[in-house]
């Protein structure tokens, strides 16, 4: 049993990110970085003031050394990073400020995809809040089992469905959501495509229907993210609209949803009420699009609080 006791434990696979602002083509200029939903969310949680640890398997090579150094640089505890032989998961992305993105993954059989329940068992009970996503559940059977184990044993569990059609089918992603929702304190589906697809909603359904359908699966609370439309928060007693925070500028929207989930998990772990945590998460996600890549710009807690306060005035 690990002695690490983070406020927030994020589990998943950090990825090598190869990005370009040009369409994919031979000779395109690219940038090497480290990203992936788990790393983005963990970095956001740390920036939001939580003691954060990343539970991940990372190859024991020079590129892995650089990745772990970046994890530490982002203020994330690396004691729960497990170094193993194997290959890195990589994704290639083209994005532009309008938000149009292309992704190509090379992660099948990666070291990160071998995450398993035994890895989670060593640390999960020490964490205040555990955050996991549908991406982690999609990369392998053992990683999916790790997510379910975390949901079953965490004190507080936050789940971001984060459906990626190139990683899994809608049927499998929906089945995972049905398994973990009853165990989750908070589920954060995105609107409209993800929520409609995974919840089986009609084309004319509303975000309120997504809240109702997710709560019907057993989730205690729901935060339906709607991009520039803000966030619809649903509890047992009410549904509250949290407005979006207009970003100062848009460079790259990659990872904004991860920043939202990580920030909310952090603030819940630090004692904030749900709506206060969501407001800060919405502000942090909006501010994050000023940077390139999933961790290109991570607002401080003070910056997120200032932006959230301004949005309410």
Catalytic residues: 258
Using DSSP, how many helices (H) and how many strands (E) does the chain show?
11, 13
User: Would strands 15-20 and 239-242 be described as parallel, antiparallel, or unpaired?
Assistant: unpaired
Separation of alpha carbons 264 and 223, rounded Å:
10
Separation of alpha carbons 22 and 238, rounded Å:
44
Separation of alpha carbons 312 and 219, rounded Å:
28
The residues pairing with 20 across neighbouring beta strands, listed in sequence order, are 94
Sheet with 90-95, side-by-side order of all strands: 31-35, 15-20, 90-95, 101-106
CA distances from 285 to 12, 203, 211, 248, 280 (A): 20, 27, 20, 12, 9
Separation of alpha carbons 157 and 221, rounded Å:
11
Q: Which residues of 87-96 are buried (b: 16+ CB within 10 A; e: fewer)?
A: bbbbbbbbbe
């Amino acid at each position: 049993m690990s002695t690490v006791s983070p406020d927030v434990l994020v589990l998943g696979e950090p990825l090598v990110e190869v990005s370009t602002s040009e369409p994919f083509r031979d000779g395109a200029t690219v940038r090497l970085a480290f990203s992936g939903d788990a790393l983005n969310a963990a970095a956001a949680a740390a920036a939001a003031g939580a003691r954060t640890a990343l539970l991940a398997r990372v190859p024991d090579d020079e590129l892995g050394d650089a990745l772990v150094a970046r994890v530490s640089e982002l203020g994330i505890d690396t004691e729960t990073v497990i170094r193993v032989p194997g290959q890195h998961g990589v994704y290639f992305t083209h994005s532009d400020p309008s938000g149009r993105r292309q992704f190509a993954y090379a992660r099948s059989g990666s070291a990160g995809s071998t995450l398993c329940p035994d890895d989670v068992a060593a640390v999960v009970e020490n964490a205040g809040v555990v955050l996991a996503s549908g991406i982690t559940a999609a990369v392998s059977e053992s990683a999916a089992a790790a997510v379910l184990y975390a949901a079953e044993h965490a004190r507080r569990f936050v789940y971001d469905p984060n459906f990626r059609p190139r990683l899994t089918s809608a049927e499998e992603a929906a089945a995972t959501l049905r398994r973990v929702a009853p165990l989750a304190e908070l589920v954060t589906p995105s609107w409209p495509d993800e929520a409609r697809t995974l919840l089986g909603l009609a084309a004319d359904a509303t975000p309120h229907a997504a809240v109702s359908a997710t709560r019907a699966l057993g989730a205690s609370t729901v935060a339906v993210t709607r991009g520039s439309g803000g966030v619809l928060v649903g509890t047992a007693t009410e549904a509250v609209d949290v407005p979006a925070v207009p970003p100062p500028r848009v460079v790259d929207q990659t990872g904004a949803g991860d920043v939202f989930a990580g920030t909310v998990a952090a603030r819940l772990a630090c004692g904030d009420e749900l709506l206060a945590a969501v407001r800060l998460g919405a502000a942090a996600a909006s501010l994050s699009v000023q940077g390139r890549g999933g961790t290109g710009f991570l607002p401080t807690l003070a910056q997120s609080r200032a932006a959230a306060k301004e949005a309410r005035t």
